[in-house]
């Protein structure tokens, strides 16, 4: 009988995704094969990626490739790659191929701008990888602009993936403001940063036509209902 293939070592999932994959601009076409988002819609794809030491990489002897199946997506940041290899050695896993949770975002175009893909890894080197199954062994797609769901009384909830840095820089009241560029076909919502400068952190957008169907010509108030890791539920309601 053929030998049963062992599950690869998987890094524990914390839902924070602190590591940004380097070099993704060189792999835009490959990433789109995974994310499958339309060009006018931002990607939001949860998946599990392989982390493989590239011992013969001519640019960096410590390089670690990030891939899905045989599709290369980028590399660990150079400043992290050596520490990653050292951590595997300390865990007596030197040379082992490990996996970790990842999220793919952006990769879309608007009337104002084109956004490259961004891949973030739920990788924490103080953890110890183990043979547990990933939450998303195959890509799970939540692409596009999220749609509000009615909870009655003119109120709606919307599920979003929070941008990097927001959890450490959020206004203490969790303030969310809406704004729309003149001529834009969308209404965008932003979380205010702790010092209240600029527009803040972009959270989500609703097509203007849909926004008017839900809230008329009025603005909608927005507030956080719950936050778990980098995922949040936001409540929207018509302003009086």
**Chain position carrying tokens 């989500």:** 204
Reduce the DSSP state of residue 28 to 3 states and report it.
Answer: helix
Between residues 51 and 186, which one has the greater pLDDT? 51
Distances (CA, A) of 189 to 5, 139, 203: 46, 27, 6
Environment class of 73 (CB within 10 Å of its CB; exposed 0-12, middle 13-18, buried 19+): buried
pLDDT tens-place string over residues 8-32: 999 999 999 999 999 999 999 999 9
Environment class of 103 (CB within 10 Å of its CB; exposed 0-12, middle 13-18, buried 19+): buried
Which residue in 198, 5, 11 sits closest to 91, CA to CA? Answer: 11
Q: Is the pLDDT of residue 67 over 60?
A: yes
The pLDDT value recorded for residue 86 is 97
The pLDDT value recorded for residue 42 is 94
Q: Is the pLDDT of residue 76 over 50?
A: yes
115 pLDDT tier (thresholds 50, 70, 90): very high
Token digits for 30?
Answer: 């490959």
Between residues 161 and 2, which one has the greater pLDDT? 161
The pLDDT value recorded for residue 36 is 96
Distances (CA, A) of 51 to 8, 33, 43, 96, 232: 11, 19, 22, 9, 28
The pLDDT value recorded for residue 1 is 47
Go through the chain and tell me how many residues it has.
240
Distances (CA, A) of 146 to 6, 36, 40, 232: 37, 16, 14, 12
Mean pLDDT of all residues in 115-133: 97
Mean pLDDT of all residues in 176-180: 91
Mean pLDDT of all residues in 122-133: 97
Mean pLDDT of all residues in 134-149: 94
111 pLDDT tier (thresholds 50, 70, 90): confident
Q: Report the alpha-carbon distance of residue 240 to residue 223 in Å, rounded.
A: 15
The pLDDT value recorded for residue 181 is 80
CB 136 within 8 A of CB 148: no
CB 82 within 8 A of CB 54: no
The pLDDT value recorded for residue 182 is 78
> What CA dihedral angle connects 196, 198, 200 and 203, to 10 degrees?
140
Report the alpha-carbon angle 82-87-91, nearest 5: 150
Longest CA–CA span in the chain (Å) reads 70
CB 204 within 8 A of CB 187: no
CB 119 within 8 A of CB 68: no
The pLDDT value recorded for residue 3 is 54
For the chain, the average pLDDT equals 93
Which residue in 69, 72, 28, 48 sits closest to 139, CA to CA? Answer: 48
Tell me the domain boundaries of the chain.
9-141, 149-238
Mean pLDDT of all residues in 60-86: 97
């Amino acid at each position: 009988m053929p030998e049963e293939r062992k599950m690869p070592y998987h890094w524990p999932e914390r839902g924070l995704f602190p590591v940004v994959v380097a070099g993704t601009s060189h792999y835009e076409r490959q990433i789109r094969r995974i994310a499958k988002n339309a060009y006018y819609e931002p990607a939001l794809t949860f998946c599990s990626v392989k982390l493989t030491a590239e011992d013969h990489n001519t640019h960096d002897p410590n390089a670690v490739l990030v891939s899905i199946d045989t599709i290369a997506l980028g590399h660990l940041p150079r400043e992290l790659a050596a520490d990653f290899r050292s951590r595997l050695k300390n865990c007596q896993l030197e040379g082992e191929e490990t996996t970790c949770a990842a999220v793919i975002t952006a990769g879309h175009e608007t009337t104002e701008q084109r956004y490259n893909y961004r891949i973030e890894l739920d990788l924490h080197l103080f953890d110890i990888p183990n043979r547990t199954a990933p939450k998303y062994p195959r890509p799970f797609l939540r692409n596009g602009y999220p749609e509000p769901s009615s909870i009655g009384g003119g109120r709606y909830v919307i599920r979003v993936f929070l941008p990097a840095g927001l959890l450490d820089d959020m206004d203490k009241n969790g303030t969310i403001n809406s704004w729309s560029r003149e001529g834009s076909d969308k209404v965008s919502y932003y979380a205010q940063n702790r010092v209240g400068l600029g527009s803040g952190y972009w959270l989500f957008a609703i097509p203007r036509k849909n926004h008017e169907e839900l809230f008329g010509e009025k603005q909608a108030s927005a507030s956080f209902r719950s936050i778990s890791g980098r995922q949040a539920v936001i409540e929207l309601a018509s302003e009086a």
